[in-house]
Chain A
Amino acid sequence: MESSALGLFMRDSSVWTYPIVNLTHILGIASLFGATLIIDLRLLGVWRRVPLAPLADAAVPVAKAGFLVAATTGVALLATKATEYAGNPYLLIKFAAIALGLANVYVLSLLPAWRARRERAPSQAEARWLTFMGGISLACWLAAVAAGRLIAYW
């Protein structure tokens, strides 16, 4: 990965390549985490008066775009010094947290209460599930961001 064309480009194209890709990575994370935070808090019971469906209509595309930007720039940052990062425990924690977060998104997308959010309100039992998944989501993305930042402190 480090000897790939991408790795070479990241290291040798310009002294500003890394900082610019790094900045883009942060913008991606900010969009993903910010949008996800709004949905998670709503699922956890904050802003009950705000209907879930329109909130999700606005936040989900921002989260998706943020994830895409963060993931692509993340690969580039990793390729810069892949062999060095391979031994970094925080990187493994971060990847595990992202995998869990994505699995949580997938399960949520299968829930009838989530799929029917535009037609009806969730039942009490369903609402408890949504709350639970919002909590898992928040924990996953928080862990991913924290572990990601800590990569630099190893």
Chain B
Amino acid sequence: MTDIGLIAIGAGIAVLTGAGAGLGMGIATGKAVEAIARQPEAGSKINALLILGMALTESTAIYGFVISLIMIFTMGK
């Protein structure tokens, strides 16, 4: 197998971090919806917290994406 093939496989594995992030974001959104349904007047506060939590959860997926990009664009040369 050539180097570029191995790099592509590695990049693909790195992007698998998106699965965990998706799971986490789904759980967070579900809980937020439950909380708002129970207490609609706290909606704006829960929304702000949800967006912050989403950003932190999403970052794992983003790290995988950045690492795969760096692998593709710097290792192949």
Indicate whether A and B interact.
Answer: no
The interface of chain B, by Cβ under 8 A from chain A, is none
